[in-house]
Copies of this chain bind each other. A is one copy, B any other.
Amino acid sequence: MMLKFAILGFLGYSPMTGYAIKQRMDRSTTHFWHARQSQIYTTLKALEEEGLATSMIQEQVERPDKRLYFITDNGRSSFLAWLQEPYLECSPKKETLVLKMFFAAQMESDTALSQLQIQLNIHRKQLDHYRNDSVKEIKQAKAEFPSLVRDARMWEATRRFGEMYEETYIRWIEEMIAEIQMDQ
């Protein structure tokens, strides 16, 4: 459902292939919206069947042919309707680490501590990624599409979401470690 709109959103900027959409998503929305390659291809097909996108094959030399997708007028208005309708929920979360920690009293302290340490490293790397790579990617996108200044500011804001989320996550893990160490 929602993936359709994410894809339409990208097609709104310019025609794209499924492969390119996957790359774009991995570099921009992946920390709040992700999809597998296969799902992108099937969703594009569905979009075309619904008349929200059209496609044409582009032949290439020394590269596999590619299928370029274009947003239709119906696609545009359907996307805008979705965009403008307010979202009235909290998006549900599934946090495996937190679930494990809920039951952590049933492990040895050292087992829990080592799991937390592993996660701390993972999330520090993730934070570093948002602070460096993501910033660069947005700069590149800005340079590529200088007319989308306002859009780029929103992309930056969603990058900030990832950064803030990871900062908080790391603080929580650190609190957890302190809590468990106190207990020993």
The residue on B at minimum CB distance from A98 is: B32
The residue on B at minimum CB distance from A114 is: B86
Q: Which of A15-23, A44-52, A61-69, A167-175 lies at the interface with chain B? A: A167-175
User: For the complex, what is the distance from the CA of A104 to the CA of B80, rounded to whole Å?
Assistant: 10
The residue on B at minimum CB distance from A93 is: B32
Copies per complex of this chain: 2
Contact A95 B32 (CB under 8 A): yes
Q: With an 8 A cutoff between CB atoms, is A29 at the interface?
A: yes
Interface 0/1 of A116-149, CB less than 8 Å to B: 0011001100100000000000000000000010
Give chain B residues whose Cβ lies under 8 Å from the Cβ of A55: none
From the candidates B29, B80, B96, B118, name the one contacting A102 in the complex (CB within 8 A): B29
Known: A84-B111, A157-B176. A99 touches B29 (CB 8 A): yes
A→B interface (CB under 8 Å): 2, 5-6, 9, 12, 28-29, 31-34, 80, 83-84, 86-107, 111, 114-115, 118-119, 122-123, 126, 148, 150-151, 153-155, 157-158, 160-161, 164-165, 167-168, 171-172, 175-176, 179, 183
